[in-house]
Amino acid sequence: MREAFREWLGQRGFTAKTQSVQWSQGNRLETAFGDLDAAYDLDALAAIRTTLTYSKQDERNGRPNPAPFQIDGDVYANLAGYRATLTYYSQFRTAEAGGEVLAPAPLNLAVLQEMKTQFLERYPDFRELGFQARHGAYWDDERAYKDVVLDRVEQALSSADADESAGARLLKLMWQPPANFVDWRALAHLDSLSQTDRQAVTDALDEMLADSGAASASAARCASRIHPTFTGGALRTLVTTAQALTRPQDAIAVKTQYLQRAAKRLTGRGPFKSNVMTEVEYGELLSLVQGVFTIMRDDWGWSPRDFWDVQSFLWVTTDVASNDTDLEKAAAPMTSEPAAAVAPTNLILYGPPGTGKTWTTARRAVELCDGDAPETRSALMARYRELVARKRIGFVTFHQSYAYEDFVEGLRPETGSDGEGAEGGSTGFSLRSQPGVFRKIADLAQANRGRPLSEPTSYRERQVFKMSLGRSGQDEGARIFRDALEGEYVALGWGGDIDWSDPRFEAFDAVKARWRQDHPDATGQDPNVQQLYALRSWMKVGDLVVVSDGNKAFRAIGEVTGRYEYVAGEHSDYNHRRSVRWLWHSAEPLPRELIYGRGFSQVSIYNLDSEQIAWPALEQIIAGAGEAAAVGAAPEPYVLIIDEINRANISKVFGELITLIEPDKRTGCTNALSVTLPYSGETFSVPANLHIIGTMNTADRSIALLDTALRRRFEFEELLPDPESLAEASARTGIDLVSVLKGLNSRIEYLFDRDHQIGHAFFMPCQTPDDVAQVMRTRVIPLLTEYFYENWEKVRQVLGEVEDEGGFVTRTRLKPPAGGDAYESGEGRWRYAVRSKIALAAYDQLKP
C-alpha cells in the first residue's frame, strides 16, 4: 500500500483521524489478503470486496464474519467500513493514473459541521443514541420504515419464485407502503407502458441486480438501457433506488434536487448534468457519500449502518426543491433556514383618506408572510393576491351591523342531516355553530406546521375525490378514520364482501353484472355498483382524496399511491381500500368553503368539480402539512386585515378575543390563554402566527374615541399625506401638485384639524391636467363640503378663492324674492357652483 494514499486522503479534505483509520484498515487488509496494489492490478480489488460482502439478511441469519480477521462488535457495519477502504484505495489508484471518475472535489468540513449541528438540533436525542439505536426521533422519522422495506426486499429476492424475476419483484416492492422513494408519476408511467417496454425495464434491473461490480458502472449501464423509457430525475431515482435497496452499503437512492444541492453545498458543484446518469456522475456522488459516511463513523462516532443513514442525514439537512427533473434549479445554491417566528403583530394604520393605507396594508401583510416585499406596485399586488388566494391573507370590512357571530362564530340554521355514510337524507331543522372570518383564518394558522421543505406541488391536473371515512360524529366512524390514518389507506363500506381486484372489473358493466348475480334487482345507480366502481376503477394513482367531516368540513387530504385492494374483516363492511399518502390531516376540521365552492354531498365517494375547487388554497393547506408530516422550522405567518376597524362596535365584535389577541396570550406564548366558545362549546386560542392589521380613516372617527381595551392591545401607526411623493405626477401633468397639496392641507389643518387632510393618493394616478381637474371636481371638493358641513365659504377659503368668479368654485348673489327684504341680513345669500373647466392658473391660488 502506497504512502501517497494517506496524502491523497488529506487532499480530499479528510481529517487526520480519518486518514489514520483508513491507513490502519488498509494495513489490516494487506495482512489478510496480501499486497493491495497487486490485487488492484489483478481485478481492481473485486475478489477481496466479494469476500467482505455481508448483507442484512446475513446479519439476521447470524452468518459468521466472512473476513479472515476478527471483528469485535457489529459485523455488518464494520465490514462496510473495510469495503469503504477498498473503495478509497481503488479511487486513489485510478486518480493516480489520471482517471476522470475518481478525482472528486474535497469535502468542505466547515459546512459538514454546520449540517451536523442542524441534524442534532432536529434530533436532540441522537447525540446519545447514534445510528445503531432502534428507538428515538431519528429512528421513528427516518430509519424504521426504511428497515421494513430493506427486510422485505431481502426476503423477496431470496425466495425461489420462478414465475417472477428479481427486477419484477423489486418493482412491486418499491411502491408498496411504507416505501416512498419513487414518485407516483413514475408508477403511473410504468403502468402505462406496453408489455414490451415494461419487460425491457425489468430486464435492465435484473442485469444490474446480478452485477456485483462497481455500483456506479452497474447503475450507469442499467440507466442507459432503460433510457428513453424513463429520463432525467425519474430515471436516476428508479435505477439507484433499486440498487440501494439491494446494495445499501455502497449505493444510494438518488433524489436529484436535494442531493444536487447537498453536493454543491459540500463540494461546490453538483454531479448531475445529463438526462442519462453516467458512471462519472454517479461515481462522484458515491464518493461524496462515502466521505460523509467515513467521517460519521471515524470522526463523529455515530456508527452509521449503511448509505441509507447518509441519505437520511443529507435529506434532513438540505433544503429540497419542488421536483426531480430540473437540473438547473437543482444546482441552485442552498437557501437559508427559515427565520424564527415573527412576534405576533397587532397593528392599526390610521390617517386621513388617500394616505396610502390600502397600499401600506398590502405591503405589510406580504412582508409578514414572506419576510420582505417586492419593490414595484404591480409585483407587490400580484404577490398579495396570490397569498389571498392561498388563504394566507384574509380581508374583512367592519360596518355598523357587523357582529360577533360574523367574526368569531354564530349559529346558522340547517335543514336535513349532515351525517355520512347513508345515501338518503332526512328532513328537519336545527341551529349549528359556524365559524366566522376570524376563526376560519385562526384555524388555518393553527393547522400550519411550517414552511414546506419543497415548493408547493401543483395538483391541478389531477382528479379530486370527496370521500367519507365512517359516519361523522360516531365512535365507529372515529375508529375507522383513525385506523385509516395509521394504515395509510382509504376504505369504502359499499361493495359487499366481494374481491373486485380481478382485471375484468375495470369495466363498469362487469361490476354491475357481478353485483346483479347476487342482487338481481340492482341498477347501475346502486351505491354498491356506482361507488365501488369509483373507488375501484375511476380513481387513479396520483389522484387526491378529501376526507369530509360531515357535509360542511374536511379533516384530511391524501394522495392515492396504490391500486384497489380487498381487505376483509377489520371494520365490518369497509373491505375495499386504496393506499394513500396523507398530505394533510388535523384534529380540528376546516370549513369546506375554504377549498370547495359547493356543499359536500352525502354520497360516500364522488369526483369533485375541478372548476369549484379553490386550488391555491388547497395547495397551501397541503404545503403546511397539518399533522401529516414534519416540515420546516416555525409555522408560516397568516395575516387578517380588518378594514375600517373603527366603524363597528369593537367590544361587541371581538368579545373574548380582546384578551386572546394580546401577543403574550397567544398559543405557545408566555401567558397563553384559551376560552370556551359560547356557541360550539369548543376550546379556542389565538395562534402566535396570526397577525392582525387594521385600518382606520380618521376623517370618520378619531382614535381618541376608540374603545380603550382595543387601544391597549394594538400598536398605532399614523399615515399622513406625503406631498413629495407627487413629484413624478407633477412632472407628468405640468402642475406643481407637491405645492398644491401642501397648501390645501395647511388650510384644512388651520380651519378644521389634521385628521381631515387630503391624501396624496388622490393625485398619484393623474397623467394630464384634465385628470387633476377631474380629481378636484369629483373627489376633493365634495370631500371638503362634507368636512365643513356644506359651508361653502369655508370650502372657498380652503381653495384660496378671493373673487366671486373663483378658480374652482364660483358664487352668485341670489336676488331676494318679493317681500323678502325684511329677512335679508348681512351680505345676503349665494349660489355656489363648481367650475366644469379649471384653468391651470387656478392651481397657483392653492399653493402655500
* Set of cell numbers at residue 438: 376570524
Report which secondary-structure segment, H or E, holds 412.
Answer: strand 409-415
Q: Is 367 helix (H, G, I), strand (E, B) or coil?
A: helix
- What sign for the dihedral angle of Cα 382, 383, 384, 387? positive
Sorted by sequence, the CB contacts under 8 Å of residue 563 that are 6+ apart come out as 501, 541, 578
Judge contact between 248 and 307, C-beta under 8 A: yes
Distances (CA, A) of 765 to 100, 360, 376, 725: 63, 17, 15, 12
Residue 112 is classified by DSSP as: H
Percent of the chain with pLDDT over 90: 40
**pLDDT digits 0-9 by tens, 661-692:** 998 888 877 788 889 999 888 889 999 999 99
| Domain limits, CATH 3.10.590, in the chain | 452-624
Q: What is the pLDDT of residue 322?
A: 34
d(CA 30, CA 67): 12
**pLDDT digits 0-9 by tens, 385-404:** 999 988 999 999 999 899 99
**pLDDT digits 0-9 by tens, 570-625:** 556 788 999 998 888 887 788 899 899 888 988 999 999 998 999 888 988 887 75
Q: Which residue has the cell 382524496?
A: 545
The residue-averaged pLDDT of 560-566 equals 91
Report which of 617, 559, 550, 544 is spatially closest to residue 589, judged by C-alpha positions.
550
Query: Kindly report the CA angle at 658 between 655 and 662, in degrees rounded to 5?
Result: 155
User: Per-residue confidence at 448, pLDDT binned at 50, 70, 90?
Assistant: confident
**pLDDT digits 0-9 by tens, 472-497:** 656 677 888 888 888 889 999 899 98
Judge contact between 546 and 467, C-beta under 8 A: yes
- pTM (predicted TM-score): 0.56
CATH of domain 346-417+636-718: 3.40.50.300
163-167, 361-365, 575-579: lowest mean pLDDT where?
A: 163-167
Q: Say what angle helices 279-298 and 75-96 make with each other, to 10 degrees.
A: 130
User: Per-residue confidence at 320, pLDDT binned at 50, 70, 90?
Assistant: very low
Phi first, then psi, for residue 337 (nearest 5°) are: -65, 150
Burial bucket for residue 545 (CB in 10 Å: 0-12, 13-18, 19+): buried
| Domain limits, CATH 3.40.50.300, in the chain | 346-417+636-718
Whether the predicted pLDDT of 335 surpasses 70: no
Q: Is 583 helix (H, G, I), strand (E, B) or coil?
A: strand
Judge contact between 295 and 287, C-beta under 8 A: no
Second CATH level (architecture) for the domain 452-624 = Roll (3.10)
Burial bucket for residue 847 (CB in 10 Å: 0-12, 13-18, 19+): middle
Judge contact between 787 and 754, C-beta under 8 A: no
d(CA 310, CA 77): 13
